[in-house]
Amino acid sequence: MFEFLINNYHIFTSFIIMIIGLLAIILCNNLVKKMIALSIFQTSALLMYVSSSYIENGQTPIYQFKESETGTKEVILGDYLNSGSEIIYHNPLPHVLMLTAIVVGVAVLSVGLALTLKIYSKYKTLDENKIINKEEFND
Amino acid sequence: MTINFILCNMLIVIAILVFIQKSLLNSVLMLGLFSLIMTLCYINFGALDVAITEAAVGVAISTLIFLAVIKVVGVNIETNNRKLLYYITAIISSVVILFLIFINIDTPLLGDILSPIHSLSANHYVSESYKEIGIPNMVTAILASYRGFDTLGEVFVIFTAGISVFYIIKMKDKHDEK
Amino acid sequence: MKNRLIASKIGYFIIPILLLYALYVQFHGDYSPGGGFQAGVLLASGLILYEIIHGMDELLKIISIKTIQKLSAIGVLLYFIIGLIPIFLNKEFLNYYAYSDSKLLAQHIGIFLIELGVGITVFSSILLIYISFSKFKVN
């Protein structure tokens, strides 16, 4: 277990921040603090995915060129199965998926904050317990 | 990697600091700082596209939207004393974290090239993408050409969010007309 | 009125650089980290900075709300039509090989137009979200 903590410390960090965000959504009374906790929760999950794309001694996934014998530029391809290429690139697939996740996260956050503003304009308070007490339940 | 260790510790400390502030403005600024340290983590892992997006979206746009909301709502929050509840949840959550660590004890270590995530379709993208598409940036090639459907869905999502926020805020309820 | 001399003079320097950098990131998405999403967000940040310094009325003189709504719809439509044209040329949806005989040139055209659509939509959506939050008044 200590080898996991030393070498995969970022996964442990991701768990802790996820649990902190989840607890804050449940325990905080203020609605805007719940939205802050939602944003932190989403960001922590992305860290774990992006860290799985890292390869030791690797470069950013943008193709690099080298000068060949005839003087023209030649591209250096990457390869994970055969260990013969000169440059190892990081895995580009988790980067692509997490790009979409970040933008979807900000879209969800903005709709949540719009609903919070409408709740504030009706009840004039943002405390969760006071809103539940003020709400009239018509049976 | 010691840089990884230092940045992850800063992330944990800032995440705890976000929720013990007495004012909403301080919490929002700590959220911006959290996104900034997350950008540095992404740069450390070599993910530059994700780092630019996180810096632009998380630090700039997210903080600005929260500040626009706080200008209407006000920065004061009501505090209450629930120390016993917090201690009980701390104990239960540490048990849950230990459980999560024991589930994940066999994940591949950081930077392992033999991990199975690198061997199937990612191998095809890295080795054949320049011959089939011809642009140097692999992430743009995958995003716009190999996985064009996902990007179409995401454009729909951001478009829907834009219109729905506009019409939610513009809509007048019955009680407004009284 | 408030005296915003220092912020206004700094804004004269920074805002053009922000907008130019956003266009650079959009069109160099093929050669360096960047693309449609980042460019849209940076462009929106430039105009939001202008709104913070000079006020909402000045921003609405530059670009009206109806224009922003139409731009976001144009971005989605551009993406969708680029995907729909290959169907009329006897191929599948989002198949870029229908645009030209040379395979690499067809992919270049498809990727360029798609990133343009994504950039326009993200810019106008985020600007619309900020403007609606900023114009909200509690009655």
Of C116 and B102, more confident: C116
Give the span between the Cα atoms of C80 and B29, in whole angstroms.
38
Give the span between the Cα atoms of C41 and C37, in whole angstroms.
6
Q: Is the pLDDT of residue B71 over 60?
A: yes
Percent of chain C with pLDDT over 90: 80
Q: Which of residues 24-63 of A touch C (CB under 8 A)?
A: 60, 62
| B interface residues, C as partner, C-beta within 8 Å | 48-49, 51-53, 56-57, 60-61, 64-65, 68-69, 71-72, 132-137, 139-141, 143-145, 148-149, 151-152, 155-156, 158-159, 161-163, 165-166, 169-170, 176
Chains in contact with B via at least 3 Cβ–Cβ pairs below 8 Å: A, C
Question: What pLDDT is attached to residue B79?
Answer: 76
Q: What is the amino acid identity at position C113?
A: L
Would you state the torsion angle of the CA atoms of residues B39, C21, C37, A11, taken in this order, to the nearest 10 degrees? -10
B57, part of any domain? yes
Terminal alpha carbon distance of chain B: 63
Q: Is the pLDDT of residue C1 over 70?
A: no
What average pLDDT does the structure give for chain B? 89
Please name the member of B53, B71, B159 whose beta carbon is closest to the beta carbon of C76. B159
- Measured from the Cβ of residue B115, the count of other Cβ atoms closer than 10 Å reads 17
Q: Is the pLDDT of residue C23 over 50?
A: yes
**A120 to chain C: which residues are within 8 Å by CB?**
138
Confidence grade of residue A42 (pLDDT, cut at 50, 70, 90): very high
Into how many domains does chain B fold?
Answer: 2
The two three-digit tokens of residue A77, written as one number: 């391809």
Q: A65 in helix, strand or coil?
A: strand
Q: Give A97-132 pLDDT, tens digit per residue.
A: 999 999 999 999 999 999 999 999 988 888 888 888
B18, part of any domain? yes
Lowest mean pLDDT among A106-120, B97-111, C62-76: B97-111
Q: Give B11-60 pLDDT, tens digit per residue.
A: 999 999 999 898 999 999 999 999 999 999 999 999 999 999 999 999 99
Confidence grade of residue A66 (pLDDT, cut at 50, 70, 90): confident
| Contact check, Cβ <8 Å, B47/A95 | yes
Which residues, 6+ apart, have CB-to-CB distance to B151 below 8 Å?
A: A100, B143, B144, C79, C114, C118
With contact defined as beta carbons under 8 Å apart, do C51 and C134 qualify?
Answer: yes
Walk me through the domains of chain A, giving residue ranges and CATH numbers: 2-53+91-134 (1.10.287.3510)
What average pLDDT does the structure give for chain C? 92
- On whether the pTM is more than 0.80, the answer is yes
Give the span between the Cα atoms of A107 and B159, in whole angstroms.
9
Lowest mean pLDDT among B42-51, B66-75, B96-105: B96-105
Assess A133–C contact: CB distance below 8 Å, yes or no: no
The two three-digit tokens of residue A35, written as one number: 């939205």
With contact defined as beta carbons under 8 Å apart, do B117 and A52 qualify?
Answer: yes
Of C3 and B31, more confident: B31
Confidence grade of residue B177 (pLDDT, cut at 50, 70, 90): low
The two three-digit tokens of residue B154, written as one number: 């995401």
Question: What pLDDT is attached to residue B1?
Answer: 66
Would you state the torsion angle of the CA atoms of residues C115, C118, C119, C125, taken in this order, to the nearest 10 degrees? 180
- Domain of residue B62 covers 1-80
Pairing of strands A65-67, A73-75: antiparallel
* Residue A103: closest C-alpha in chain C: C37
On whether both B68 and B133 belong to a single domain, the answer is no
With contact defined as beta carbons under 8 Å apart, do B38 and B18 qualify?
Answer: no
**C126 to chain A: which residues are within 8 Å by CB?**
106
ipTM score assigned to the predicted complex: 0.92
Average pLDDT estimate for C56-67: 93
Q: Is the pLDDT of residue B176 over 60?
A: no
Residue by residue, DSSP assigns C92-132 as -TT-GGGS-SSHHHHHHHHHHHHHHHHHHHHHHHHHHHHHH
Percent of chain A with pLDDT over 90: 49
Tokens 């690797």 belong to which residue?
A58
| Contact check, Cβ <8 Å, A21/B15 | yes
Which residues, 6+ apart, have CB-to-CB distance to A10 below 8 Å?
A: A47, A48, A51, B4, B8, B41, B110
- For residue B175, the 8-state DSSP code is G
Give the span between the Cα atoms of B149 and B142, in whole angstroms.
11
What is the domain partition of chain C in residue ranges? 5-134
**C139 to chain A: which residues are within 8 Å by CB?**
121
Please name the member of A60, A114, A121 whose beta carbon is closest to the beta carbon of C138. A121
Q: Give C80-106 pLDDT, tens digit per residue.
A: 999 999 999 988 898 999 898 888 999
Please name the member of C32, C122, C129 whose beta carbon is closest to the beta carbon of A110. C129
Give the span between the Cα atoms of B27 and C86, in whole angstroms.
50
* Residue C80: closest C-alpha in chain B: B152
Q: Is the pLDDT of residue A70 over 80?
A: no
Average pLDDT estimate for C56-79: 93
Maximum CA pair distance of chain B? 68
On whether both B67 and B124 belong to a single domain, the answer is no
Question: What pLDDT is attached to residue A139?
Answer: 44
